Amino acid sequence: MVQRDVPVSAPLFYWLSGFVLLGALCFVLKDEARQKAHRIMLLYTSTFVLWALVFSAGIQGRLSHPTAIMEADKAELLLKFGTAMYVVEHRLVGHGGAAGVFGPKPDPQAAANHQKNFHQEAEKILKESLDHNPDSSTLKVKLAILLADSAQPADHKEALALAHELACRRVKKDSNLGRALEQIYGRNQLVRGLEGELARTVIAGVPYGWYRDACLLRLYKDAGDGASYDNLRLRIEDKAAGLFINLLTVLCFGLTVALIGSIIIVVQLFLWPGRLEAQRYDAFWRAEPAWNLRTVYVVFISWLATQIGIGSVAQQMVKSMGLLSSGPILAAVSTASIYALSNAPALFYIYWFACRPAQLNFRTAIRLRFHSGQLGPGRLFLVGLATWCAAVPLVMIAYLAAAKFLGAQGSSNPIIALVLDAARSSNHLATVLFYLTLGLLAPLCEESLFRGFLYSSLRRRFGIGTSLFVSATLFAAVHLDAGAIVPLLCLGWVFGFVFERTRSIVPSMVAHGLWNSGTFTLVLMVFS
């Protein structure tokens, strides 16, 4: 599960103090008194989770700042796409007065209108995001630059008003950037000698990407620095052409994987089911010692309490030290650390509350098997790869259905903002750390919990359909990402299905890791 930002407040401190006290009682008491303490601890933990999910719903669910920043990233993608289309039209279709590679030069007015449409849509997104989070200096900077890039005089006045708001702020970084924007966009001609200092302020204050490039272009142009202007313009055009090629590559690769996945789905639906020996499979799921549903509940409620409690404390410590905004490497390390502190205890809870009392080996309990029937490690990996391919068309359909019938706007998970920052920085170490977190740590924890433990526990008592539905629904729900709940439900069902087929958690781990890594790779190709 991806982390949520829950501020540490006085009530949370009191809750955590209660956990410490009850934990001490559970440790020192003996026999019947200890059993009563355990029951009180379970009731207390359940009440805490209920309080966090209900009374802190405004904190957990709305997350206006990360959501607004991600909306701004969508706006930037539109702007970059508009620039890419403009550059491609002039490089491949025509340039100057001559014909291009694929035909005559396009109508300049038509190309300008296309860019204007992208600008207007991006402006709409930014303004809506700023309405939801009016104190965000990042959004104000981006909107000011976008408005100032417009040819409409009214937009220039609005841009200068936003810059003035930033200049009046007490935060030094915001005020310096606001004054710099006033200098750049508020004068017909820059004062000579200021361009170097203004450029350094823009580079330090504006995130890498379209907005910084647009601001620097305007600065160099008005300052009469032709060499810097031409150099930056060529770099922007090269990046735009690279973005077009990356998008074309992603499209071709995605369609190929979707086609392969569709074939795999057809084979699964019409050819392979006849080979499934239901009695043999049912006997397998019922072969191991079974713990009751109360044990399943104890594991999950303990994990959720850890997510909310320890995860919140860790997030606030990281936030108070400013680690998430101190560069991509520290952001990646912080993200991995928070995830490990919040989710790795789930593996301990499975062992302590389920495996240890039943005297069952942990790997056996969660079905971490590298040999299953005729499937060895290599074949299990290939099955995981095939599962990932099959998930692509299913999740694409789920996204489209959710957007059309439920009005879903896509994922609003705050970790995406951190991933985007890492992509923009092109920092290799941060990239590797995010790959390890998303591609290895997340599948290990989540598949062990939702498929290895939960699905196995349900499957011992219920049929395939009930077990798939419950495990996939919980998998989607605990991510607390309303915009992506339908695709997550689909993914949970696919991972559970391959687990049922192979009776090993390895393929679902592989498919989960490939999904997370593939999504991160897509972000890198678009935003790096």
- Give the list of residues 6+ apart from residue 83 with CB closer than 8 angstroms, or none: 115, 210, 236, 240
Residue 257 binned pLDDT confidence (cut-offs 50, 70, 90): very high
Predicted confidence at residue 102, as pLDDT, reads 43
Predicted confidence at residue 122, as pLDDT, reads 84
| Mean pLDDT of all residues in 443-454 | 95
Predicted confidence at residue 55, as pLDDT, reads 67
Q: Which residue has the higher pLDDT, 83 or 140?
A: 140
Q: Which residue has the higher pLDDT, 451 or 197?
A: 451
Residue bearing tokens 């957990």? 60
* Choice among 107-111, 146-150, 227-231 with the minimum mean pLDDT: 107-111
Q: Which residue has the higher pLDDT, 389 or 325?
A: 389
- Cβ atoms of residues 185 and 156 within 8 Å: yes
| Mean pLDDT of all residues in 153-167 | 83
pTM (two decimals): 0.86
| Most confident segment among 271-280, 458-467, 498-507 | 498-507
Mean pLDDT value across the chain: 81
Predicted confidence at residue 9, as pLDDT, reads 53
* Choice among 15-19, 172-176, 330-334 with the minimum mean pLDDT: 330-334
Residue 323 has pLDDT above 70, yes or no: no
Taking only the tens place, the pLDDT of each residue in 43-63 is 999 999 988 877 654 444 433
Distances (CA, A) of 282 to 133, 287, 367, 462, 468: 53, 9, 15, 10, 15
Predicted confidence at residue 197, as pLDDT, reads 86
Predicted confidence at residue 71, as pLDDT, reads 65
Predicted confidence at residue 412, as pLDDT, reads 64
Taking only the tens place, the pLDDT of each residue in 342-395 is 889 999 999 999 999 988 899 989 999 999 888 899 999 999 999 999 999 999
Query: At residue 440, what are phi and psi to the nearest 5 degrees?
Result: -120, -55
The CA angle 326-231-183, to the nearest 5 degrees, is: 65
Residue 524 binned pLDDT confidence (cut-offs 50, 70, 90): confident
Residue 99 binned pLDDT confidence (cut-offs 50, 70, 90): very low
| Mean pLDDT of all residues in 133-149 | 86
Distances (CA, A) of 167 to 158, 164, 176, 186, 390: 14, 5, 6, 13, 52
| Mean pLDDT of all residues in 332-339 | 82
- Cβ atoms of residues 349 and 302 within 8 Å: yes
How far apart are alpha carbons 232 and 248 in whole angstroms? 24
How far apart are alpha carbons 474 and 462 in whole angstroms? 16
| Mean pLDDT of all residues in 320-336 | 71
Residue 105 has pLDDT above 60, yes or no: no
Task: Read off the tokens for 334.
Answer: 């912080």
Residue 397 binned pLDDT confidence (cut-offs 50, 70, 90): very high
Residue 21 binned pLDDT confidence (cut-offs 50, 70, 90): very high
| Mean pLDDT of all residues in 23-29 | 88
| Helix, strand, or coil (residue 12) | helix
Q: Which amino acid is at 172?
A: K
Of all residues in the chain, what percent carry a pLDDT higher than 90?
30
Q: Which amino acid is at 72?
A: A
How far apart are alpha carbons 278 and 280 in whole angstroms? 6
Predicted confidence at residue 4, as pLDDT, reads 47
With residue 279 as reference, give the H or E element that holds it: helix 278-285
Predicted confidence at residue 309, as pLDDT, reads 84
How far apart are alpha carbons 121 and 75 in whole angstroms? 7
Task: Read off the tokens for 308.
Answer: 């909310």
Predicted confidence at residue 110, as pLDDT, reads 57
Predicted confidence at residue 390, as pLDDT, reads 95
Predicted confidence at residue 97, as pLDDT, reads 47
Residue 493 has pLDDT above 90, yes or no: yes
Residue 299 has pLDDT above 90, yes or no: yes
Residue 318 binned pLDDT confidence (cut-offs 50, 70, 90): low
Predicted confidence at residue 468, as pLDDT, reads 94
